[in-house]
Amino acid sequence: MDIKINSYTNNRALYEKALKYIPMGVYGHLGPSEGCAIPVSAFPIFSEKAQGAYFWDVDGNRFIDYMCAYGPNVLGYNDPDVDAAAFEQMKKGNCVTNPDRVLVDFAELMVDTVAMADWAFFAKNGGDVTQFAVMIARQATGRKKMVLTKGFYHGVAPWTQKLGYGGVIPEDVCNNLYIDWNAPEQFEALVKKYPGEIAGFISTPYYHPIFEDNKLPAEGYWQKIRKICDENGIVLIFDDIRAGFRLDIAGSDYHYGIKADLECFCKAIANGYNVSAICGTDALKSTIGDIMYTGSYWLSAVPFAAAIACIKKMKETKTQEVINAKGRKMQDGLVQVARTHGFDLRVTGEPSMWYMRLGNDLPSTLCHQEFVAECVRRGVFFTSHHNHFINQALSDEDIDYTWAVADEAYKIVKANHQADIDAGKIKLI
C-alpha cells in the first residue's frame, strides 16, 4: 500500500497570517493547542475541502477523518441528500422575520423520533441547550443546585467550567455539586444533604471525558438515578450532544433503558448544519413560556431542512447500527495491529465514538501521542486526548488503509522507544 508522508507548507503560512487577525490563530477545540496537535509539525491546521469520510487540507493532503468535526459528521461530509434539502430550503428562505413552516415539521419529526420527547425547542450550539436545560430545571423546581458527574463537559458557559479556569468566578459554580461516574449512592447522599435544594441532575449518557478511559453505565445505574430523581422531584437532564444519534435514533436515554425529563442534542442532528435541540416531557412544557430564551439565528430554516433530511436518512439506513459495526471492525483490527508490535491498545466507550490509549505506555503517554502523530502525518486523523467518531461514509478500503498506516506508525514508535523497552519501562505484550 502506498503511504505518503504529509508536508504542511501552506498550512504553516496560513497559520502565520491567521495569528495577525485571530487570537491564537485558530481558537477552541479545532485549534492546534486545544486540539492537542502534538507535535504541531505533524498536524494540518486548515481544511480546504471535505467529502464523505475525508477532508483535504490546504496543502492538498487527504485525511481519513476519525474526528468527524468532533461529532457533526455522521453520514459523511457533503451528504447529497442532506445538502439537497438544505440548498432547496435556501432558495425559499432562511433567516426571516417569521419562521418557516419547516420549524414545525422538524419539531414533529423530533417528537416522533426521540422516545422521551413530547416537544422540541431549537437553538444553535450544544451549550445553548444545556444552559437552557439548567434554567428549565431551576424554573420548574424553584431550586438552585445542580448535580454533575466529575469529568463532565456540558459546554463553555461559566457554570460548566471549573474554579481556577480563566474568567470563572466562585459565584458561577457555587451551585454545582459533583459526584463520580457510576456512583448513584453519592447522588443519594447529596439529596439527603441538600433536601429540597437540588433542581437537576445533568450528565452525558456514558462517561466520555478527555484523557481518560471511557466508561459505560453500570448495570442498573440509570434506573437508580431515575428513581432518585423521581422520588425527590429532581429534573433528569441527558446531555446527548456528543452521543446523540450515534447510539440510538430514539435517544441515548432510550438506549440505556430509561426516560429523561430533558434531552439535549446537537452534533449528529444535521450532519454539520448548525442547529441544536432540546426535547422534553409534557410536565415541563409550560415552564418554557416562563423563561426568556432566544437567539438571532435559532429559527433559521436551512439547518432545520438539513436536520430533517439527516434524521430521515439515519432512520432509513439504520445509521447507528452501521457506524457501530464499522467502528467495532476498525477498532478490533487496530488492536490486532498494535499487538503485532507488542503494544496493548485499550479501546473504551461505544464503538461509534470510541476512546483509545495504550495500556503499556510510559506514564507520560508519549508512545500513544507519537503513534497519533505518525498516523496524522500519513493521512489518518486521530487525536491523542479525545474520543473519536465514526461516520457512515467510512469504507472497508479506508479501514484497510488505517490499519496499514497504524502498522507503520507502531513500527516507528517501537523503534523510538527501544531504550525504554530494554530498560523495562515499556513492557511489550
Partner 1 sequence: MDIVTRAKINLFAVLRNLQELCTLDKASQEAIKDANLSVGFKVPSVGEATLVFKDGKCTFRRGDSKSSLKLIFLSAEHFNKLIDGGKTIPIFFNVFQAGFLLKTFITLADRLSYYLQPEKTPAFKDQPEKLAELLKDQEYFNISTTLTACTAFFALCEVGNSDPIGKLTAARIPDGVISCTVKGGPALNITVGKDHVMTAALGEVSDWRASMEFADMQFASDILRGKTDTFTGMGTGKFAIKGFVPMLENMAKLLAQVAFYLK
Binding site for partner 1 (CB under 8 A): 15-16, 19, 24-27, 31-34, 36-41, 45, 162-166, 211, 363-366, 369, 385
Q: What is the dihedral of CA 116, 118, 123, 125, to 10 degrees?
A: 0
* CB closer to partner 1, 28 vs 233: 28
Enumerate the β-bridge partners of residue 380. Answer: 64
99 neighbors 301 (Cβ within 8 angstroms): yes
Q: Which is nearer to partner 1, 143 or 386 (CB)?
A: 386
Closest residue by Cα to residue 63 from 375, 380, 371, 330: 380
Whichever of 19 and 84 has its CB closer to partner 1, that residue is 19
Going from the C-alpha of 276 to that of each of 228, 400, 423, 424, the distances in angstroms are 28, 34, 51, 49
List Cα–Cα distances, 402 to 58, 65, 242, 399, in angstroms.
22, 10, 24, 5
State the minimum distance, in angstroms, from the CB of residue 74 to partner 1.
27
215 and 348 in contact (C-beta within 8 Å)?
yes
We find the least distance from the C-beta atom of residue 32 to partner 1, in angstroms, to be 5
Q: How far is the CB of 408 from partner 1 (least distance, A)?
A: 21
For residue 413, the minimal CB distance to partner 1 (Å) is: 13
Instruction: Compute the least distance from the CB of residue 387 to partner 1, in Å.
Output: 15
Kindly compute the dihedral angle of the four CA atoms of residues 235, 112, 204, 216, in this order, to the nearest 10 degrees: 120
Asked if residues 408 and 378 have their Cβ atoms less than 8 Å apart, the reply is yes
Residue 275 beta carbon to partner 1: minimum distance, rounded to whole angstroms? 29
State the minimum distance, in angstroms, from the CB of residue 170 to partner 1. Answer: 8
Q: Which is nearer to partner 1, 363 or 424 (CB)?
A: 363
Nearer Cβ to partner 1, position 16 or 185?
16
- The nearer residue to partner 1, 37 or 198, going by C-beta atoms, is 37
Comparison of 15 and 54: residue with beta carbon closer to partner 1: 15
CB of 356 to partner 1, least distance (A): 16
User: What is the crossing angle of helices 319-340 and 301-317, to 10°?
Assistant: 70
For residue 356, give the H/E element and its range.
strand 355-358
Task: Report how far residue 374's alpha carbon sits from residue 357's, in angstroms, rounded to the nearest whole number.
Answer: 15
Indicate the DSSP class of residue 27.
-
CA within 13 Å, CB half, 80: 0
- Residue (228 or 367) nearer to partner 1, CB: 367
Burial of 70 (0-12, 13-18, 19+ CB in 10 A): middle
Closest to partner 1 by CB, 195 vs 363, is 363
CB of 326 to partner 1, least distance (A): 29
Using only C-alpha atoms, the chain has a radius of gyration, in whole angstroms, of 22
Q: What is the DSSP letter of 52?
A: B
Nearer to partner 1, 25 or 351 (CB): 25
Nearest to 311, CA basis, from 120, 110, 116, 129? 110
Cell of 250: 430514539
Q: Name the minimum Å distance from CB 173 to partner 1.
A: 10
Spatial distance between the Cα atoms of 23 and 154, rounded to a whole number of angstroms: 24
With H, G, I as helix, E, B as strand and everything else as coil, classify residue 276: strand
CB of 424 vs partner 1, minimal distance in Å: 13
Give the nearer residue to partner 1 in terms of CB position, either 32 or 251: 32
Rounded to whole angstroms, the Cα distance separating 174 from 139 reads 18
